[in-house]
Amino acid sequence: MSKTAMNPTQEWKRSDHQHYMHPFTDTRELGEKGGARIITRADGVYIYDSEGHKILDGMAGLWCVSLGYGRQELVDAATRQMQELPYYNSFFQCTHPPAIELSTLLSELSPGNFNHVFFTGSGSEANDTQIRLIRRYWDLLGQPQKMTIIARKNAYHGSTLGGASLGGMSAMHEQMVLPVPGIEHIEQPYHFGLGGDMSPAEFGLQQARLLEEKINEVGADKVAAFIGEPVQGAGGVIIPPDTYWPEIQRICDEYGILLVADEVITAFGRLGEWFGSTRFGIRPDLISFAKGVSSGYLPLGGSLVGDRVAEVVIANGGEFAHGYTYSGHPAACAVALETLRILQREKIVERVKQHTAPYFNRRWAELAEHPVIGEARSVGLVGALEIVQDKSSRARFHKDLGAGTRCRDICVNNGLVMRAVGDTMIVSPPLIVEDAHIDELVEKAWKCLDLTAASLEAAA
Ligand code: PXG
């Protein structure tokens, strides 16, 4: 037996620290604090680390493993496709069955005005594609000055230059000269954080009307599009009040600007519908997708192109000078096809809507009773908890106490993946969770909040 096989964890941690630059990580600090947890296998809704700990995956990987781990059909779909045709491109008048079948199925599943798909390898590339499509659209219509895209603060649209520019993460902008020209940001519909004493309904309208103000500030003749996640995910599961999206839709319609729904997290059942837009009454012109389309088993993303844009860019626009080596990768498309067929066959989206989400929403709401929780909100199968020092004033713990990361670390050490965004804890479990898993999630979360409260008290 090799030395590594005998005692792999320490060896792996050392090599990881020396060679692997992790995404969104202070690599030096991680090494100094004992290194990364090494996940070696997973099954169903549980992941296992190299030291044998079993951990409930409350985040479905990174919002993506909708069908849970160990689905043999997905492995078989990838294997079959890799044996048959592991790679070919669709650039130079070629195509292949998985991309044809997947684009056809996506057109069937998406809202009625969507009939075309552009494939990418990720959600970031999907949003870069949207920028290219939006600008091409207005250019072809003879209005090239209409190039400003309005997005929101604290939105997450990816890590490429385009994605990070559309996103409203100030830490990302600070590390580059971002956003790229022609992207503006308005404030987000975060009621708990920004709503003060306003009712959610009033606040939703007020935040939506910021779009109208921004359009007038920039000049309606210069604004091309608005982009938003139906529910902001990485920003902390910001669920807009029900008044928000209808008002955004009204404004987009009135000014004739394109509406892009970034559904990288919210599509394919996450909110109990095939698309989160349906849940919020959004009628988008373009939809970005990734993650759940392939259940995270292989990387795949894309842009669903609505008829309004397709009519101009595809039917009458000539060559669209844009594409990736892995656009429509055959194995990724085969896995995505099988993912969508499993969702259909096992009626998982309907089950989430009728049973799993209502049960999760009910149980999650109980966490609002915890002494350090200022709000427990959820929609579909995403949820957030606001950790506060004082429930009535919503005052936070001192920043230096790092309440969120403290809670996250306590959770993972007690068998639960729950992510921290500042002092907001978030979950997004696999869509296939059973009631018993939801019970386990809520019970572990409560216990970990107790431990967090005690630890904060000791540290204060
Ligand atoms: N749009 C949205 C709404 C996303 O959530 C992307 C685009 C980019 O997708 P890719 O495939 O390029 O990563 C995302 C990705 C987090 C976290 O910490 C969330 C994402 C990615 C990484 C971390 O919650 N979302």
pLDDT digits (tens, 9 = 90+) for 302-348: 999 999 999 999 999 999 999 999 999 999 999 999 999 999 999 99
Work out the percent of the chain whose per-residue pLDDT is above 90: 96
Do the Cβ atoms of 56 and 417 come closer than 8 Å? yes
The mean pLDDT of 205-223, rounded to a whole number, is 98
- Show me where the domains of the chain are located: 37-70+347-459, 73-345
Average pLDDT over residues 2-22: 81
Give yes or no for residue 7 having a pLDDT over 70.
Answer: no
Residue 6, pLDDT score: 52
Q: How confident is the model at residue 2 (pLDDT cuts 50, 70, 90)?
A: very low
pLDDT value of residue 31:
86
The candidate with the shortest Cα–Cα distance to 123, out of 259, 356, 293, is 293
Residue 447's closest CA among 421, 413, 423, 420? 413
Indicate the SS3 state at residue 447. Answer: helix
The CATH fold of domain 73-345: Aspartate Aminotransferase; domain 2 (3.40.640)
In a mutational test of the pocket of ligand 1, which residue from 57, 156, 382 has the highest number of ligand atoms less than 8 Å from its CB? 156
pLDDT tens digits along 112-122: 999 999 999 99
pTM (two decimals): 0.97
Fold observed for domain 37-70+347-459: Aspartate Aminotransferase, domain 1 (3.90.1150)
Q: How far is the CA of 429 from the centre of ligand 1 (A)?
A: 15
46 vs 67: CA distance, rounded Å? 12
Ligand 1 atom at minimal distance to the Cα of residue 121: 11
Mean pLDDT value across residues 136-144: 98
- Name the band, by pLDDT with cuts 50, 70 and 90, for residue 182: very high
Distance CA(251)–CA(64), nearest Å, equals: 32
Confidence band of 33 (pLDDT split at 50, 70, 90): confident
Q: Whose CA is nearest to atom 22 of ligand 1?
A: 62
Q: What pLDDT score was predicted for residue 431?
A: 98
Q: Kindly state if the Cβ of 226 falls inside 6 Å of ligand 1.
A: no
Strands 382-387 and 148-152: unpaired
Cα separation of 236 and 422, whole Å?
Answer: 8
Average pLDDT, the chain: 96
Distance CA 87, CA 74 (A): 17
Q: Which of 247, 246, 301, 292 is nearest to 268 (CA)?
A: 292
3-state secondary structure of 110: coil
Residue type, 299: P
What local confidence, expressed as pLDDT, does residue 400 receive?
Answer: 97
Q: How far apart are the first and last CA of the chain?
A: 49
Q: What single-letter amino acid sits at 28?
A: R
Cβ–ligand 1 contact at 208 (below 6 Å): no
Q: Is the CB of 229 under 6 A from ligand 1?
A: yes
Cβ atoms of 361 and 152 closer than 8 Å: no
What is the C-alpha separation between 264 and 243, in angstroms, rounded? 22
Give the mean pLDDT of 389-395.
95
Q: What is the pLDDT of residue 5?
A: 53
262 lines ligand 1 (CB under 6 A): yes
CB 234 near ligand 1, within 6 Å: yes
